[in-house]
Chains A and B, each alone.
Chain A
Amino acid sequence: MSLYKNGQVKQNIFKRVFLFYYNGFRNMPEYGVKLWLIILLKLFVIFIILKFLFFNDTLKTKFDNDKDRSEFVLDKLTDIK
């Protein structure tokens, strides 16, 4: 198996993928940098602030197993006179 292709040393697939993204991010235009900052800020707000402070999955956090969750919902669904 040759270590060369077109006179250059072949890089392994992971390195090529890494360099592809690395060069892509490095050569990004100014608006791209702004967008990434917005994306990161948005992900921070969504996953850190909103998820942890306000959006606990009610049934997952209240109960340890599906049986208890079923019983709870069954109680709620049949809470009629």
Chain B
Amino acid sequence: MEHIDFSLVDWSRAQFALTALYHWIFVPLTLGLSFIIAMMETIYVKTGNEEWKKLTKFWMTLFGINFAIGVATGIILEFEFGTNWSNYSWFVGDIFGAPLAIEGIMAFFMESTFIAIMFFGWDKVSKKFHLAASWLTAVGANLSALWILVANGWMQNPVGMHFNPEKARNEMADFAEILFSPTAVNKFLHTISSGYVLAAIFVIGISSWFLLKQRSVLFAKRSIAVAAMFGLVFSLFNIMTGDSSAREIATTQPMKFAAMEGLYEGSTTSPLVAFGILKDSDNPNAPNEKEFSVAIEIPDLLSYMAYMKPGVFIPGIRDLVHGNEKEGIMSYFEKIKRGHVAIKALKDYKNALKARKTDKAEQLKKMFSDPEFLNNNFKYFGYGYYYSEDEDVLKDNAHLIIPPVPVTFYAFHTMVGLGMLFLIIFILFLYFSIKNKLENKKWLYITGIIAVPLVYLAQQSGWIVAELGRQPWTIQDVLPTIASVSQVDTSTVQITFWLFAVVFTALLIAELKIMFTQIKKGPKEGGN
């Protein structure tokens, strides 16, 4: 701990967060709008109505702008892995490499080929072939997301691997276990469905603007009908997968779950906090200091929500740090000591290799295949980096393994609250659409327009919960950020941080400018 340059760790984290959050401005719209476009084009092909073709082309234009601006912004994350997080990149080994390689190949071949047909292929290929290309673009984009999210799921819940001490990296033991881990499945389904919700709100918001301006009314009504139906279905699906994600987090990442709920003291009757304001504190990470100043709570509901049965003990932050013998919860102090034993074993192995003590090295190597050692020590490998021989320092260090609770709590509640609001918005728009009473509803149009920035806020909040809520881990329980960073110059990371901030902001401004111009032109001019 003494050798760690915390400034380097913080800047590297800030840079990664900045890049990931900017990248995620563009991705969800691609995921969802591609399907909405394919649905609109299907109606065109089925009915032969040229109005639907015009409509398809208009939304395709906005899709193309978003895709073009967003493309390759994710590559920078891979650069950062290699430069700023080289220890991590090496440690994860082929587990991260394989899904990312599949993603790269799929994205290149599927998206780039079929997107070209979507944009250049009108009147050059048959209607059905063009429609197939539109659907395959949507499927390709979502399959690309699958591999990235599987890799992320593994970081949240590392399964299906074996640590090779000789190579200092993890090796894939069971690809299916990684691909179908509940974390990866929930993450994929929840993330892509959130993208569908975003795209549906995007279409509704822009269509509402047309209705407000009383321009292209039929186009706007038809767009709303498709988007509201699509949005309602996937909003419900998103809530379902969000619920199963939270239940899964309660088991695999209990500290994140406690932070999401602002739960400091565990109980079998924990309430679900529907709304709450956490009290200010000088040290937001230190337990015993946080409580709600205002809270709307639903008594006893959290246990039921987390485990689908009442009366189950939900550990709070204090239980996880200090342990709870009665409930069988091991303290962070104990985990730190156990993790330290694992790191020490790896160090002894390394020293035995260097001293050419082959027998000792072999003996130590075998430990990393011993189920007892794996379960009792290696499982807590990452905690070992917070070890100190001084018991007081060790106890202080344990508090560094608590994520930033206020940010996690507020981001989670913002995401959930907005998710519910979007469900209501979809119901309202669909109801008035079916009843053909969408006209002269100024309040509804304004709601639809305001929902557009809110849906982006919900998306960003979701990632803040997922990533900030699991700090300090890059790989849950196994590797913290302090052991993941490369020894690079902090000033270089600072320079690139600001460089990214400028480049990404410029890209965002360019996207908004081009998009607003095309929206103002409307479906007739912009869509052809």
Contact = CB atoms under 8 A, between A and B. Distances in A.
Given A55-B83, A70-B166, A77-B346, A24 B389 contact: no
Interface string A26-64: 000001101110110011011000110011111110000
Contacts of B492: 54
A71 B119 CA distance: 50
Interface string A4-25: 0000000000000000110111
A80 B124 contact: no
B169 interface: yes
Contacts of B82: 55-60
B503 interface: yes
A74 B503 CA distance: 36
B507 A81 contact: no
Nearest to B503: A45
Interface residues of A, number: 38
Given A31-B65, A58-B486, A80-B340, A70 B168 contact: yes
B68 A38 contact: yes
Contact of A73 (B80, B91, B116): B91
Contacts of A69: 90
Contacts of A34: 514
B64 A77 contact: no
A12 B484 CA distance: 52
A56 to B, nearest CB: 6
A79 to B, nearest CB: 6
A76 B483 contact: yes
Given A21-B120, A73-B91, A78-B343, A55 B79 contact: yes
Given A55-B82, A58-B488, A80 B496 contact: no
B167 interface: yes
A75 B350 contact: yes
Contact of A20 (B120, B346, B503): B120
Contacts of B116: 20-21, 24
Contacts of A23: 120, 124
Contacts of B447: none
A70 B169 contact: yes
Chain B interface size, as a band, is 35 or more
Nearest to B91: A73
Given A21-B120, A55-B80, A35 B514 contact: yes
A58 B86 contact: yes
Nearest to A67: B167
A41 B89 CA distance: 28
Contacts of B324: none
B343 A42 contact: no
B347 interface: yes
Most chain A C-beta atoms within 10 Å of own C-beta, residue among B3, B90, B483: B90
Contacts of A36: 68
B76 interface: yes
B504 to A, nearest CB: 10
B75 A80 contact: no
Contact of B69 (A38, A79, A81): A38
Interface string B345-384: 0110010000000000000000000000000000000001
B91 A35 contact: no
Contacts of A81: 2, 389
A55 B19 CA distance: 14
Most chain B C-beta atoms within 10 Å of own C-beta, residue among A43, A45, A56: A45
B276 to A, nearest CB: 39
A31 B486 CA distance: 41
B72 A54 contact: no
A65 B167 CA distance: 12
B168 A74 contact: yes
Contacts of A78: 343, 346-347, 350
Contacts of B507: 38, 42
Interface in B58-80: 61, 64-65, 68-69, 71-73, 75-76, 79-80
Interface in B70-108: 71-73, 75-76, 79-80, 82-83, 86-87, 89-91
15 contacts: A21-B116, A24-B116, A25-B120, A35-B64, A35-B68, A36-B68, A38-B507, A39-B71, A42-B73, A57-B83, A59-B89, A70-B90, A74-B346, A80-B347, A80-B385
Given A38-B507, A42-B507, A70-B169, 17 more contacts: A24-B120, A35-B69, A38-B68, A39-B72, A50-B76, A51-B79, A54-B492, A54-B499, A57-B83, A58-B486, A71-B168, A73-B90, A74-B350, A77-B343, A78-B347, A80-B385, A81-B2
